[in-house]
Amino acid sequence: MKTMLNGRAKVKPLWNRAARGILLLPLLLLTGGCGSEADDPAAGEVPVPVAPSAESEAARQAESTKGSAAATEDVAGTETRRFGQLRLEIPSSWRENQLSGIRATILDASYGIPAADEAIEVTFSTIGGGIVDNLSRWEGQFQREPGDSPVRRTIDVDGTDATWIEISGTFTARAAGNPGPHPEWMLLGAAIPLGDRDFYVKLTGPRAAVIELKDSVFDMVKSARLE
């Protein structure tokens, strides 16, 4: 570009303009970048993880341990007891009674149930004489109202036909050190054939308390395994 100076044309260097443009370019880029970040407040921010609250963490831990606790109760809820060739899963909360005298000769074991009525006793025995006669003897230990007949039914115990029995009425035999009679009592029992000598489970006590235990006693009988 030319200008007139003292009658002479003078040329202004073009590189001065180019240099000014080069110097301004970074400033323009910086200004433009700052503008875009201002328009987007979230630009360049790093997400910060939010810690779970104490309540949610406690709930999660309770839920995760619920299943393991239940599994532990299932395993620890029974203990294996062997009677000759037969194995049973007996509730671990039951308390084994010490046998003495004639009871020690006719019973394999006797248990009390702490959570139930103190008079409730569960006995296990292996005796001869035949299932029909022995269960009839149990029925004879009760005075029953007319029409209140004992219940007998066949159940499967490890592939063997066993007999389940329920009797209600006044129990006339000795129980818990008391000769009786014991009105409003009930008997739950089972007879498992083993050959010459059969295995018997017998629970007696106040009727209302025995009914509460019916399912657990039945499950115990069904847990029997012949070896």
Query: Pick from 91, 93, 121: which is nearest to 107 by CA?
Result: 121
User: Is 28 in the same domain as 121?
Assistant: no
Q: Does residue 3 sit within a domain?
A: no
User: Is 17 in the same domain as 95?
Assistant: no
User: Is 30 in the same domain as 112?
Assistant: no
Domain that holds residue 31: 11-39
Query: What is the predicted pLDDT for the residue at 63?
Result: 46
The CATH number of residue 119's host domain is 3.40.1000.10
Query: What is the predicted pLDDT for the residue at 55?
Result: 52
Query: What is the predicted pLDDT for the residue at 57?
Result: 53
Query: What is the predicted pLDDT for the residue at 175?
Result: 82
Query: What is the predicted pLDDT for the residue at 19?
Result: 44
Could you read off the pLDDT tens digit of each residue along the chain, which spans 227 residues?
A: 444 444 444 444 444 444 454 444 444 444 444 444 444 444 455 555 555 555 555 445 544 433 333 323 343 599 999 999 999 999 999 999 999 999 999 999 999 998 667 779 999 999 999 999 999 999 999 999 888 899 999 999 999 999 999 999 999 998 867 888 999 999 999 999 999 999 999 999 999 999 999 999 999 999 999 98
Total-model pTM: 0.66
The amino acid sitting at 125 is S
Query: What is the predicted pLDDT for the residue at 73?
Result: 38
Query: What is the predicted pLDDT for the residue at 119?
Result: 77
Query: What is the predicted pLDDT for the residue at 174?
Result: 87
User: Is 133 in the same domain as 194?
Assistant: yes
Q: How many domains does the chain have?
A: 2
Query: What is the predicted pLDDT for the residue at 53?
Result: 56
User: Is 19 in the same domain as 108?
Assistant: no
Q: Whole-angstrom Cα distance, residue 167 to residue 10? A: 133
Q: Whole-angstrom Cα distance, residue 57 to residue 60? A: 5
User: Is 128 in the same domain as 202?
Assistant: yes
Q: Whole-angstrom Cα distance, residue 103 to residue 108? A: 9
Q: Does residue 190 sit within a domain?
A: yes
Specify the length of the chain in residues.
227
Query: What is the predicted pLDDT for the residue at 74?
Result: 42
User: Is 178 in the same domain as 135?
Assistant: yes
